[in-house]
Structure 1
Amino acid sequence: MSIRSILTVCLAALLSACTAARPALAPAEPSLRVVAFPGGSNWPVWVAMDKGFFTAEKLKVAITPTPDSTFQMKGLIKGDFDIAITSMDNVIAYREGQGAAGVIGPDLVAVMGVDPGWLRVVADPEIRSYDALRGKVLAVDALTTGYAFVLLEMMERNGLVLGRDYEVVSAGGAMQRYESLLHRKHVASMLLAPFDLLAQQQGFNVLGKADEVLGPYQGAVAAVRQGWGRANASQLSGFIRAGARAIDWLHDPANKAEAQRIYWSRMPPGTPPQAAETAYRAILVEAQGYQRGAQINLQGVETVIRLRARHGRAGIALREAAHYYDPRFRDAAMTGR
């Protein structure tokens, strides 16, 4: 099988991973309804399911894949979902009314750290520098949320200003943005692991790494409505405890082969083993991995706030990092480990 064929199968596999697993894993009335983007941020959840970590907490978990942050955050705010695995920036945006028009989640909070973002500016094989992006159109998740502001900041630090030197369009989540690059619909975007490595294997270029430019950054988190969390504190703490246990398990090199097997088991039939090998290398070897103990990086949250204050909608005063994070559920989870 050619590298192109393998990567094409990997792409389809990641997109369908959540839904492919649903019939076997989601009971008719799940205890917790989780909404997440397809991709590597779900690996700890898959491990917690496979290894019985959720079962040990007397929890049943069902995952719904989201095509974009608008669907995800609207569903969480309306109560269609209990927990969202989403970016920290989305929590802040929708809490402060800077997300999709008319959608505000006044009690949204992050309760668990998942990953530091693993963000990379990835460009077409012919694009080898930021300067070569002048006059081009770049892909982002949504124009006002997600990781768009990281891209804008990295472009500015390399002398390019939105509207003057380049434009952006909304192209959906990391999976959709990766696919848009693959089909040459856009010349560059902000990608995260393992999509950055998949793109590199196709000849695309990594122009910059966010952590090297911006310092600490809080990427994916588990977010809830605070009122729901208080009413379901035991279940939520159990979810966090199982997730932290799964993250620790994934970081143990002795579990590498089984971790890849679990990842591969979430892929549709016919997916080559290289899909799991690529994901493991991209996330747990080349990137920083997951956040141990499910700990949120408050310095990283401050970076998210600074970027939103600079590039987001004017006229709204953002608050300090602790306002958007409720540590009580994680504290209870860690006490009970």
Structure 2
Amino acid sequence: MTEWTVMKRTLAVAIAAAASLSLAACGGGSAAPTSSSAAPTSSAAPTSSAAPTSGAASMPLNFQLSWFPGGDNLAFWAGLDQGFFLEEGIDLTIDSATDPTISQKLIATGEKPIGIAYAGDIVISNASGAPITAIWALTDESPFGLISLKDAGITKAEDLKGKTVGVTSLPTDQAFFDTMLKSVGLTRDDVTVVDPGLAGVQQLLAGTLDATSAIINYEPAVLKSEGIDSYDFLYYSQYGAPNATFYAITVNPEWLADNGDVATKFLRAYQKSITWTNANVDEAVRLFIERFPDQDAELTKNIYLGEAAIMGTGSNDLGQWQGLADYLQADGTIDASVDAKTFVTNDYLP
């Protein structure tokens, strides 16, 4: 698969999702879901589609991704295909996003009851008076850092001097990058910083970036799809940034107060989905490609395998969350720190 193919497929999905959001806005409603609990778009039915275990009707539930469909959220789609959410009495639909910060905003306003949000954005949202609650940590540690090709010669943070580096607009990315530079006596005056948008890896391959921000389960998989197995990765946490979960399943607290049992059922279904996907990766990818034929099967599989390697048990580490909140306050990203116990809980784990 060529560099241009990867870029086209990435941008095609993003543009399609953006168009869906735009059309919905013009019509005065919310964006149409990317997919639903219906069968995949091809004529092939899911391997199984279990009905709810009780005679009661399933509860509709709309889940918001923080990005577009891909290997990093493969288990959610597998759970739909295998009927695990229906078994718990949940009629699930899944919406994608092209703006990684939109999910916590929709959850905070109550437009979406549940979804994935980045840990830093969860802290920032709560600090700004828009409460949301993390109920499942998707990673135990931070997979966030900078990736570069071997010929760039960036094996330590000091090597960034004089380089062109892609840093996304995520507040934590900006803050963590500055902390990395400061830890080795550098400032932004020593580097050229650009926003890589959707295509940091593609810009690495094109030679317009020397390094770009990345997560260890995603960008290396994209490089592997290009036949590149050797690269350098610098974790932000190795240079003073907090070592906390990167993203979490997050809910609106008012919704949670009335639907705690549904939250637990959702997490139990997701737990089943992970177990099944880990044992049946190729089948999960096949069904995913039926839903999204423009996606690449090999890339989807490699991204999921990277995701599976950093998955935890779902349990939130309150100490890590508090450390992240305190860091963002000290950094000036938020005005005052917030108590992690007010927006992080393990009470709904199955």
Q: Give TM-score scaled by structure 1 length.
A: 0.76
Whole-Å separation in 1 of the counterparts to 2:271 and 2:172: 24
Contact 1:137–1:187 (CA<8 Å) still a contact in 2? yes
Contact 1:148–1:190 (CA<8 Å) still a contact in 2? no
Whole-Å separation in 1 of the counterparts to 2:16 and 2:89: 24
Whole-Å separation in 1 of the counterparts to 2:267 and 2:123: 20
Name the counterpart of 1:258: 283
State whether structure 2 residue 337 is matched by structure 1 residue 318: yes
**Cα distance, 1:125 vs structure 2:** 6.1
| Aligned match for 2:182, one of 132, 156, 159 | 156
CA RMSD of aligned residues (A): 3.5
Whole-Å separation in 1 of the counterparts to 2:189 and 2:106: 35
**Cα distance, 1:223 vs structure 2:** 1.3
Q: How many residues align?
A: 310
Residue 316 of structure 2 aligns to a residue in which SS? coil
Contact 2:3–2:205 (CA<8 Å) still a contact in 1? no
**Cα distance, 1:274 vs structure 2:** 1.7
State whether structure 2 residue 261 is matched by structure 1 residue 234: yes
> What letter is aligned with 1:237?
T
Residue 270 of structure 2 aligns to a residue in which SS? helix
Identify if the C-alpha distance between structure 1 residues 297 and 109 changes in structure 2 by more than 3 Å, giving closer, same or farther: same
Name the counterpart of 1:296: 316
Q: Give TM-score scaled by structure 2 length.
A: 0.73
Residue 328 of structure 1 aligns to a residue in which SS? coil
Whole-Å separation in 1 of the counterparts to 2:38 and 2:174: 33
| Aligned match for 2:329, one of 309, 313, 327 | 309
Identify if the C-alpha distance between structure 1 residues 23 and 33 changes in structure 2 by more than 3 Å, giving closer, same or farther: closer
Q: Following superposition of structure 1 onto structure 2, how do residues 102-251 of structure 1 map, counting pairs within 5 Å?
A: 104-105=129-130, 107-115=131-139, 116-123=141-148, 126-129=151-154, 130-142=157-169, 145-161=171-187, 163-166=188-191, 168-172=193-197, 175-179=198-202, 181=204, 186-192=209-215, 193-199=217-223, 202=226, 205-210=231-236, 216-251=243-278
Identify if the C-alpha distance between structure 1 residues 157 and 11 changes in structure 2 by more than 3 Å, giving closer, same or farther: same
State whether structure 2 residue 311 is matched by structure 1 residue 329: no
**Cα distance, 1:138 vs structure 2:** 3.3
Name the counterpart of 1:279: 303
Whole-Å separation in 2 of the counterparts to 1:212 and 1:220: 19
**Larger deviation, residues 320-329 vs 3-12:** 3-12
Contact 1:108–1:226 (CA<8 Å) still a contact in 2? yes
State whether structure 2 residue 91 is matched by structure 1 residue 72: no
Name the counterpart of 1:34: 64
Whole-Å separation in 2 of the counterparts to 1:256 and 1:69: 26
**Cα distance, 1:190 vs structure 2:** 1.7
**Cα distance, 1:43 vs structure 2:** 1.9
Whole-Å separation in 1 of the counterparts to 2:317 and 2:13: 27
Identify if the C-alpha distance between structure 1 residues 108 and 272 changes in structure 2 by more than 3 Å, giving closer, same or farther: closer
Q: Tell me, which stretches of 5 or more residues in structure 2 are unaligned?
A: 21-31, 40-58
| Aligned match for 2:34, one of 22, 38, 45 | 22
State whether structure 2 residue 79 is matched by structure 1 residue 48: yes
Residue 293 of structure 2 aligns to a residue in which SS? coil
Contact 1:9–1:272 (CA<8 Å) still a contact in 2? no
**Cα distance, 1:110 vs structure 2:** 0.7
Contact 1:6–1:274 (CA<8 Å) still a contact in 2? no
Identify if the C-alpha distance between structure 1 residues 121 and 90 changes in structure 2 by more than 3 Å, giving closer, same or farther: same
- Give per-residue Cα distances to partners, 1:20-52, cap 9 Å, x unaligned: 98355479x942342421244422211211111
Whole-Å separation in 1 of the counterparts to 2:33 and 2:202: 22
Q: Tell me, which stretches of 5 or more residues in structure 1 are unaligned?
A: 98-103
Identify if the C-alpha distance between structure 1 residues 312 and 69 changes in structure 2 by more than 3 Å, giving closer, same or farther: farther
> What letter is aligned with 1:151?
F
Identify if the C-alpha distance between structure 1 residues 22 and 180 changes in structure 2 by more than 3 Å, giving closer, same or farther: same
Residue 189 of structure 2 aligns to a residue in which SS? coil
Whole-Å separation in 2 of the counterparts to 1:261 and 1:305: 40
Identify if the C-alpha distance between structure 1 residues 273 and 43 changes in structure 2 by more than 3 Å, giving closer, same or farther: closer
